[in-house]
A and B are shown apart, each in its own frame.
Chain A
Amino acid sequence: MNARIIAVFGNLVVAEIEGRVVQNSLAYCVRSDGVRLMSEVIRVRGNVADLQVFEETRGLRVGDPVELSEEMLSVVLGPGLLGRIYDGLQNPLPELAEQVGFFLQPGRYIHGLSLSQTWDFTPMIKPGDVVSAGDTIGAVPEGDFTHRIMVPLAWRGEYAVEQVAPAGLYAVDQELAVLVGPDRQEQTVTMQQRWPVKRALNVSRRKLLPSEPLVSRVRIIDSMFPIVRGGTYCIPGPFGAGKTVLQQITARHAEIDIVVIAACGERAGEIVETLRDFPELTDPRTGRSLMERTIIIANTSAMPVASREASVYTATTLGEYYRQMGLNVLLLADSTSRWAQAMRELSGRLEEIPGEEAFPAYLESRIAAFYERAGAIELHDGQIGSLTIGGTVSPAGGNFEEPVTQGTLKVVGAFHGLSRARSDARRYPAIDPLESWSKYDGIVEPESVARMRELLHQGREVQQMMTVVGEEGTSIEDFTVALKADFVDNCYLQQNAFDEVDAATPADRQKFVFGKVLEVIETDFQFTDKAEARRRMFEVTDLFRNWNYAAADSEEYRHWLDRIDTLILQANNSATA
C-alpha cells in the first residue's frame, strides 16, 4: 500500500492511493520531521481518499507519505478505565502532561490502559466450558466494582475453554485464557480488548423498556420531568442558562454506578473544575471518592476538531462496555452541538451539498444513532445493565428551531429546556416548567405531577392576564393562583446548587416536600385582600426556603417543618370555622 498527500485544507487531507483502502479505517499522515498524525478515511473517490486528521495539520506538505491501516478508530477496554481522564482519542491526559509538559503535542499517542498495573484476577470458568462473546471468564476488583473480564465482545460463535489462568495478579496484556473457536483455532484472552467506537456495543439477550427512575436529586427533574435508567434526555439552552452546571450537578449527585463525562468542544476550565473537585468529594453511597466512578473524556474547544467528533463515540463505547457488566451508566455529553458543528466543518471542507444552516444532510440520522446507543439491556446471564444518555444542546441564538435541537427532540425521552428568562431572573435550575416534558414516569404519582403542572399553567395565564388588566382587574382567587404558582417555583422548582443541603434532594425528601407543597396549594387561605395574600405567601415561601436549607432530621429541619405544619393547620381551621 502506498499513499501520498496531494492536498491539505484545514484538517482535511486528500491522498492519492495505490491499492486497497477501507472506508473509516485509520491512516497516519507522516510529517517531514517524522511525526505521524492520526487520521480517518472518510471518503474514497477512485484512487483518491479524503482523510480527516485528528490533529493540527500545520507543516504537512504535498508529497508527504500516508500510512494506511485496516483498523477502525477504536478504544481499548479493560480494568483501569475508571477515574481516568482521556482526550477524544483515549490518550490519557495526565500521562501526556508528564511526557510533554504544559501543551499538547500532535502525533503523541499513549495506550489507554496502564500496562504496569496488576489486577487481582479470579477465574470463573474452567476448561471444557463453552462460552461466547460477552461471557465472563473471571473478575477483578476495580474500585468498588467487580470488573468482569469478558470473552471479547466482537467474537462470533461458541468457543471451548482450553485453559484458564489461576487466580493471581496479572497485567492487562497478560494471557488469561485460551479458547478454541469454531474454526478450531486457538485464541487467547487478556483483560483488554478493542472495540471500534462508531459501532454500537451491545451483546445481550434483548433490549428492555427503560422504566426505573434515575434519581438525579434535582427536584424539578425527578419530580416533574423524570429520567430513567437506560433512557435519553436532552438539555437545550442558550449560553449562560446553566447547561453545564446542571450536568455537573447531575454527575455529582445522580444515583447511578458510573458516570462518563464527555466534554466535547466546551470550555477547558469547566473540566478542570471536575478534575479538581471530584477526587475530593465522596460518593455518599459508597463512601469512596467520586472520581472512582467517573471517566472523563475531555476534548475541549481548543483541541482538534476531528477528535472532538470522535470523543462522543469514545465516551459512548466506554459507557456501553461497563453496561456489559450489569452496571448502570450515565453518559453526559456536553455539548452535542459542538459535535454536530465538527461534522458541519468537515462536511463544508468536503464540499458536500449543505442542509439547513449548512449542517450536513445526515445530521439527524447521526444524532438518532447516537441516542439509540442508550438503553437498558438484559445480559446473557439475566442481569440488567443500562446506559442513560443526557446531552446538552447549544442552539445558535438560543433558538430551539435550529436543526440540532429539532433532530434531538425527535429521538429523546425527556426534554429539559432551559430558558433565558428564568436564568436572567436567577431562577436556577433554569428548566422551563411549562415547555419541558418527559415521557417517563418518575418518583411522584403522575396525578400529583399533573396537578402541579396545571397550577403552573394557570399561574402563567393569570400572570399574562395581569399584564393586560393589571392587578386591580384580577380577582383575589386568580391572584392567589398566581401567588401559589410562584410559591411552587420559588420553593420547589428552584434549587441552590451552591448550598450544601439544597444542592441535592434525595428521592424520599423530594416526595415528602412535594406532598407538603401540594398541601399548601390545596389550602384555602381565604385571603381578604391582595396585600394580605402577598404577605402570607411570602411568609410560607420564606419558611419553605429555610426548610430546604436545613439538613435532613436536624433540629433546624424540625423547627421549620413544625412552623409549616402549624401554618397549614391554622389556615385550614379558619377555613372550616
Chain B
Amino acid sequence: MRKYFDEIRKIAGNVVTVNASGVGYDELAVIQSAHGESLAQVIRLEGQQVSLQVFAGSQGVSNNDRVRFFQRPMQVPFSDDLLGRVLDGSGRPRDGRSEVRGEMTEIGAPAANPVRRRMPDQMVHTGIPMIDVFNSLVESQKLPIFSVAGEPYNELLARVGLQADADVIILGGMGLRHDDYLKFRQAFEEGGVLGRAIMFIHTAADPVVECLMVPDLCLAVGEQFALQGKRVLVLLTDMTAFADALKEISIIMEQIPSNRGYPGDLYTQMARRYEKAIDFDTAGSMTVLACVTMPGDDVTHPVPDNTGYITEGQFYLRGGRIEPFGSLSRLKQQVNGKTRDDHRAIMDACIQLYALCRESREKRDMGFETSDWDRKLLQYGALFEQRIMDLSVNIRLFDALDRCWRILAECFEPEETGIRRAIIDKHWPQPNADLRGESAGEPNAAPAKA
C-alpha cells in the first residue's frame, strides 16, 4: 500500500520538512509537485517532522504537495548494462537511452571489515615519471590531485584513466562544466575505453543535492564490480564541489559550522567515501583518484586539508607540472622495492638534490655569488624539470630511471648524490669516462657483502 503525506511544514533551501510517521532515517522519498517529481532523502527525524533533502531542489514545491516514502534507502541498479552509460546524480540516464536494469544495490552501505582487506602490492603504471618513479600509484589507493582552477587536472585525470589499464573506469563528475564532461567523453571515446566506462555526471547547472549522491553512486557500483573480481578505477572530480554541497545542506539544517562554514563532520563524510577504495582479499580492487581544487591555492583550506588526512598521499598539480615537493604516495613503498633495486635510491636522491637546487636558485635570484656546487645544482634542476617533470613526458618506469641516472651523471660526482656505494657501483652510467671526476677514482668502495 502506498502512503502519501501532504502536510509540508517548512520549505527552506533544498530542505523540505513534512509531517509523517513510520519513516526510517536515511530513507528515500519522492515529492510530487506541479513541476514534476523529485527524489528526496531523509536527513532528520524529530517527532512527526521529517526533514528531506530534495534532489531537484525545493523550487516549485508547495506546502500541500505529496510526499511518498519508499521504506528503503537510496539504491542504484547494478549490472553489466551500466558499462558505457552516462547517468545523473539521481541515477537516471543522461544519455537519452533507457533506464538501466539490474540488481538494486544500496548506496552508502557499511564499511568493509579491515581484516578482509589485503595489502596492496600492484603498481598502476601511468607513464608519467613524476608518478611512476617518485610517487607510484598503487592499486586500491585513494589519492587526490590538489590543484587550482585553470590547471589541467581533468586532463591529467583522463590521461591516468586511459593509461592505467583498469577493468572498469567510473567517472564521477561533481559541479562539472558541461564542456569538461564532453571532453572526458571524447577522451574516453578516442582512447577506446568508453565500453568499460561508466559516468555519473552532475554538472554545475544541476541541482546541488544530486552532487552529494555522485560519489556514493560511483563507489557503490565500483564496489560491486570489485566484489566480482574486477579492478576498478574511480575518478572523482571535483571533491571541493561535493564538500560545498555538504556545507550548503548543513547550514540550512542550522548545524554549528566548525571551520569556514563547513560542518563538523566534514572529515567523517569524506572519509566514508574515500575509504571505499579497497583491495579485497579474495576479490578485486577499487582505486580512487580524485580532484580537489584548492580555493585560493590554500592547502590549509578545510577541504584539501581534511582530504590530505584521509587519502594515501596527494599529488600537487601546479604550473602544469606535478610538484615534487608535497606530492606523496603513501603506498609507494609497497611496490617500489620490487621494481628495480635503484628505484628508491633514485627517488630519494633526485628529490633531495632538487630541493637543494631550489635553495641555490633563491641564492642566485637574490644576487649572491654562486659556488661550483650551486652551479651543478642549477644545471641539474634545469635538466630534471625538462626531461622528467614536464607533464608531456610519457615514458616507462625503467626508461625514466635510466634517464635520471644520466642526468645525475651529467651534473655530479657519485658521492655528491648521497646514494649509497653499492647502488652507485652498479648503476652509475659508465660510457663517458670523462664524466667521472678524480675523486671517484679513490679506492673507497665498500668490500663486497658476503
Contact = CB atoms under 8 A, between A and B. Distances in A.
Contacts, number: 234
B371 A471 contact: yes
Contact of A272 (B25, B109, B117, B257): B117
Interface string B305-327: 11011101110000000000110
B119 A272 contact: yes
Given A269-B141, A425-B351, 7 more contacts: A103-B111, A240-B313, A240-B314, A341-B264, A358-B258, A426-B351, A470-B368
B355 A424 contact: yes
Interface in B94-143: 108-120, 140-141
A559 B337 CA distance: 27
Interface in B1-50: 21-27, 44-48
Contacts of A127: none
A37 B325 CA distance: 46
9 contacts: A59-B25, A60-B24, A62-B45, A62-B48, A85-B114, A276-B118, A300-B275, A530-B371, A546-B446
B286 interface: no
Contacts of B425: none
B369 interface: yes
CB-based closest 6 A-B pairs: A397-B300, A470-B368, A302-B275, A301-B271, A302-B111, A358-B258
B339 to A, nearest CB: 14
B300 A94 contact: no
Interface in B334-369: 337, 344, 348, 351-352, 355, 362-363, 366-369
Nearest to B280: A102
A262 to B, nearest CB: 13
A273 interface: yes
Interface stretch (A114-122, A142-150, A314-322, A343-351): A343-351
Given A103-B113, A498-B344, A265 B355 contact: no
B70 to A, nearest CB: 12
Contacts of A246: none
Interface in A409-453: 420, 424-426
A563 interface: yes
B328 interface: yes
Given A272-B117, A426-B351, A396 B328 contact: no
Contacts of B271: 265, 301-302
A103 B226 CA distance: 13
A471 B115 contact: no
Contacts of B263: 348
A104 B46 CA distance: 28
Interface residues of B, number: 90
A242 to B, nearest CB: 9
- For B263, B264, B302, the residue with the greatest tally of chain A CB atoms inside 10 Å of its CB is B264
B75 to A, nearest CB: 13
B256 interface: yes
A546 B421 contact: yes
Contacts of A96: 113, 115
B259 interface: yes
A279 interface: no
A93 B113 contact: yes
Contacts of B141: 269
A271 B118 CA distance: 10
A467 interface: yes
A338 interface: yes
B267 interface: yes
B265 A302 contact: no
Interface of B: 21-27, 44-48, 73, 108-120, 140-141, 227, 255-259, 263-265, 267-268, 271-272, 275-276, 278, 280, 283, 299-302, 305-306, 308-310, 312-314, 325-326, 328, 330-331, 333, 337, 344, 348, 351-352, 355, 362-363, 366-369, 371-373, 415-416, 418, 420-421, 439, 444, 446-447, 449-450
Interface residues of A, number: 89
Interface of A: 6-10, 14, 32, 56-63, 85, 93-94, 96-97, 100-106, 238-240, 265, 267-269, 271-273, 275-276, 298, 300-303, 305, 335, 338, 341, 344-345, 347-349, 351, 354, 357-358, 394, 396-399, 420, 424-426, 467, 470-473, 490, 498, 530-531, 534-535, 538-539, 541-542, 545-546, 549, 555-556, 559-560, 563
Contact of B115 (A58, A94, A396, A424): A94
Contacts of A101: 113, 116
B333 A498 contact: yes
Given A239-B309, A425-B355, A545-B420, A301 B26 contact: no
B143 to A, nearest CB: 11
A426 B369 contact: no
Contacts of B337: 498
B157 to A, nearest CB: 21
B123 to A, nearest CB: 15
A426 B328 CA distance: 10
A59 B363 CA distance: 63
A273 B119 CA distance: 6
A298 B114 contact: yes
B271 to A, nearest CB: 3
A397 B45 CA distance: 34
A240 B308 contact: yes
B394 to A, nearest CB: 26
Given A106-B110, A275-B114, A398-B300, A538 B256 contact: no
A97 B115 contact: yes
A399 B298 CA distance: 13
Contact of A62 (B23, B119, B264, B355): B23
Given A62-B47, A305-B268, A546-B421, A470 B363 contact: yes
Contacts of B421: 546
B111 A348 contact: no
A338 B264 CA distance: 11
Nearest to B374: A471
A498 B344 CA distance: 10
A482 B387 CA distance: 32
Contacts of A351: 256
Nearest to B272: A302
A546 to B, nearest CB: 6
A267 B271 CA distance: 8
Contacts of A58: 24-26, 73, 108
A268 B265 CA distance: 18
B415 A538 contact: yes
Contacts of B355: 424-426
A267 B115 contact: no
B301 to A, nearest CB: 8
A471 B140 CA distance: 47
A103 B368 contact: no
A276 B119 contact: yes
A394 B305 CA distance: 10
Contact of A545 (B112, B283, B333, B418): B418
A268 B305 contact: no
Nearest to A244: B330
A472 B364 CA distance: 12
Contacts of B110: 56, 103-106
Contact of B447 (A7, A301, A534, A556): A556
Given A239-B309, A269-B312, A538-B415, A60 B25 contact: yes
Contacts of B111: 103-104, 268, 300, 302-303
Contacts of B22: 61, 63
B331 to A, nearest CB: 7
A302 B276 contact: yes
A563 B25 contact: no
Contacts of B27: 59
A403 to B, nearest CB: 11
A345 B268 contact: yes
A61 B309 contact: no
Contacts of A559: 446-447
A59 B110 CA distance: 13
A93 B114 contact: yes
Given A300-B275, A301-B271, A472-B368, A104 B26 contact: no
